[in-house]
Chains A and B, each alone.
Chain A
Amino acid sequence: MVEDREGAALQAIVYQRDAGLAVDVNGIARRFGRKWALRGVSLRVEAGEVVAVVGRNGSGKTTLLRILATLLRPTRGGGRIYGHDLVSEAAEIRELVGLLGHAPGIYGDLTAQENLVFALRMMGRTPDRSAVLEALEAVGLAREAGERARHFSAGMQRRLALARMFLQRPRLILLDEPYASFDPEGIERVNAFLKESSARGAAALVATHDLARAAAVVDRVVRMDAGTLVEESWTRPADTGGEPAAFAVGPGEGRGEWNA
């Protein structure tokens, strides 16, 4: 009986650990015609973690993010996002994932507010005016709510896209070069969003070549080069001042010390 209880308890711990894995992918490779953009990337990200993916242009960061978002199918390899299979359960993954790509994906002929209302309807939710205005305020676009997005600067357009992500509240946040074409105020909002999301248990992957800006919110850094993950390191967050944990990939290892 005792054994059984221990066994069950052990199972429960393992389950919890697995449930904490936002991203668990192995050997992801992706070919475009003859060229391999990704050559076998394995990565694990836990719920609540913010991981920076750094690398030059062309190192495969964008492709990796797009595969995790289920916009692309991997040519080889696979994995799970919050337990859902990357290829066969893509629809379930889309309920949990949000991607902010290079292009803002907004419609110039609609106003800021209409863009967000459209987004809500596409998410299958009722268009809640107050939520929309709240999101616009959070990114500093409340005054421009009724203006056509065509008149926005690039930074404002990206902020609108960020507002869309606010409304979505994804459990896995994928940001592709969020610090590009954002003014310092915008950058602050991105980092605030990352902090707040991480606190409520969402995971985030931030592809950037500007690590300095991300340093404040990032827990871990991975570097990519020519389609592979070449190294990993822990960063020390500014506020805890704890010792950096051991180099590790895998659920739970080293993280415990962190959270203590």
Chain B
Amino acid sequence: MTISASRPAAAQAPGPARRIQVLGWIAFLAVLVAEAVSLWTSPPDRDMGHLQKLMYVHVPAAWMALLAYGLVFVLSLLYLWKRDERHDLLAAAAAEVGVVMNALALALGSIWGRPTWGVWWTWDARLTSTAVLLVIFLGYLALRAFTEDPDRRARWSAAVGILGFLNSYIVYMSVRWWRTLHQVQSSPETLDPIYTRGLRMNAIAFLLVLVYFVARRYRAARLERAAEARIEEAALAGEGVHV
């Protein structure tokens, strides 16, 4: 019995974009609502004033980055197991959106820090580990950019994604110990509970934004792949006789 691989599932074009567009509108509305609720219902922080409200965006962005990277991790494992291209394309989409969220979280953290600590950067444990993760996943994207062959690109980035994510907790723990040892100024570990409701709403809104952008990016990748597959089939069928 011989195994013959028929046209891979990844080569087929994805479904209509309608559902994603609807999701996009919902996400947009969710963000509006979340911001409205957060800004109107919470008073200025005792110490920070209105600045503390940056946390409403900074914290969910950081969470979403981590979630996106976790997605890359799971999808990379799935890819190496099943060798289904779709997992690879979805992982790449998640990594791209994750990097954007990560950069956003870092920028906001730095902006928050300037008036608070007087400097643009301190070696705060969470901020620093977030920065390291950003560089790790920028490396993931760079690897993908430098690798032409799609099969090799998928396998290599899967390995890098898995190892990168595995390191996330270890990096955080080591930076945290490092800082407590040297007793540099710290950022507040917890936020005033009055912020919780706004934070939760923002988290949900950001989750919707994450899913929306990942879905769009993934769809674009699938369309590209489907178009390439058509060219491949044409090239394959162009000549050749089986004996």
Contacts and interface: CB of A to CB of B under 8 A. Distances in A.
B240 A42 contact: no
Interface in A131-176: none
B5 interface: yes
B232 A31 contact: yes
Interface in B1-15: 2-5
B235 interface: yes
Contacts of B5: 74-78
Contact of B240 (A80, A86, A226): A226
Counting chain A residues whose Cβ lies within 8 A of the other chain, the interface size class is: 35 or more
Contacts of A33: 148-150
B242 A42 contact: yes
Interface in B212-234: 228, 231-232
B2 A24 contact: yes
Interface string A13-43: 0000000000011110101111110011110
Contacts of A80: 2
A33 to B, nearest CB: 6
B241 interface: yes
Given A32-B149, A33-B148, A39-B236, A230 B4 contact: no
B17 interface: no
Given A27-B242, A42-B242, A227-B240, A34 B2 contact: no
Contacts of B239: 39, 226, 228
B225 to A, nearest CB: 12
Interface in A217-237: 222, 226-232
A10 B232 CA distance: 44
B207 to A, nearest CB: 37
A85 interface: yes
B4 A34 contact: no
A76 B240 CA distance: 15
B232 A229 contact: no
Contact of B231 (A24, A34, A42): A34
B145 interface: no
B236 A40 contact: yes
A199 interface: no
30 contacts: A25-B2, A29-B236, A33-B149, A33-B150, A34-B228, A36-B232, A40-B240, A40-B242, A41-B242, A42-B243, A73-B151, A77-B2, A77-B4, A78-B2, A78-B4, A78-B5, A79-B3, A85-B3, A86-B3, A88-B3, A222-B243, A226-B239, A227-B240, A228-B239, A228-B242, A229-B242, A229-B243, A230-B241, A231-B243, A249-B243
List 4 tightest A-B contacts by C-beta distance, closest first. A228-B240, A78-B3, A39-B240, A229-B243
Given A33-B148, A42-B243, 7 more contacts: A31-B232, A39-B239, A74-B5, A87-B3, A88-B3, A228-B239, A229-B241
Interface of B: 2-5, 148-151, 228, 231-232, 235-236, 239-243
